[in-house]
Amino acid sequence: MDQTPASGGVGGGTSTRPYLIRALHDWCTDNGFTPYIAVHVDRSVQVPLEYVSNNEIVLNVGFDATSGLDLGNEFIQFKARFGGVAREIVVPVDHVVAIYARENGQGMAFPAPEPVAEGAAPATAAPAEPRRGLRLASEAQDGEPDDGPPHDSPGGGARPSLKRVK
């Protein structure tokens, strides 16, 4: 089994992904930014499916938008309102493909989870398409305007481009 640093690394230690997610969530919060996570959606993710597009959903995980937020090592769990209705959200940590600040796009991207061979959704096995509005810093120079079309997320407003935090 091939392991990347974000999924456990050599030696079988615990994944670094939940620690990096918590660190970037703290950084966003400490700096007055709104932390968003992009999530790869399959059967193991509990989210409102009407907000899923191309097997992905972007969620506001700020304390103002969530209730009972738990950024655990295996799952991210919280309650949030969608269209005025409270919903229970459960996301396996390995399904988080990015965490970033809504206001400036700074954050980190992670590899998508490996598809499950049996019972996997057809779109899961397809080659990944670039996420609209999310670009790695290597794809856009600092100060370059994001000329991609704005995408209205359920939280409102356009999604900024993703920049690596170094």
- 138 burial type by CB count under 10 A (0-12 exposed, 13-18 middle, 19+ buried): exposed
Q: Residue written as tokens 């954050």? A: 107
d(CA 132, CA 129): 9
Q: What pLDDT sits at residue 13?
A: 76
Query: What Å distances lie between residue 126 and 51, 55, 96, 108, 129, CA to CA?
Result: 20, 11, 18, 23, 9
Q: Range of 72's domain?
A: 5-164
- Measuring CA to CA, which residue among 55, 141, 152, 151 is closest to residue 97? 55
H/E stretch holding 58 reads strand 56-60
Per residue of the chain (166 residues), give pLDDT as tens: 344 445 444 556 789 999 999 999 999 999 999 999 999 999 999 999 999 999 999 999 999 999 999 999 999 999 999 999 999 999 999 999 999 999 999 999 999 998 766 554 444 333 333 344 443 333 333 333 333 333 344 444 455 555 555 5
Q: Residue written as tokens 């600092």? A: 142
* Overall number of domains in the chain: 1
DSSP-assigned beta bridge partners for residue 81: 86
- Measuring CA to CA, which residue among 98, 83, 100, 118 is closest to residue 38? 98
Asked if residues 137 and 165 have their Cβ atoms less than 8 Å apart, the reply is no
- Measuring CA to CA, which residue among 99, 97, 29 is closest to residue 63? 29
Report the CATH number at residue 34: 2.30.30.220
Terminal Cα distance for the chain, rounded: 29
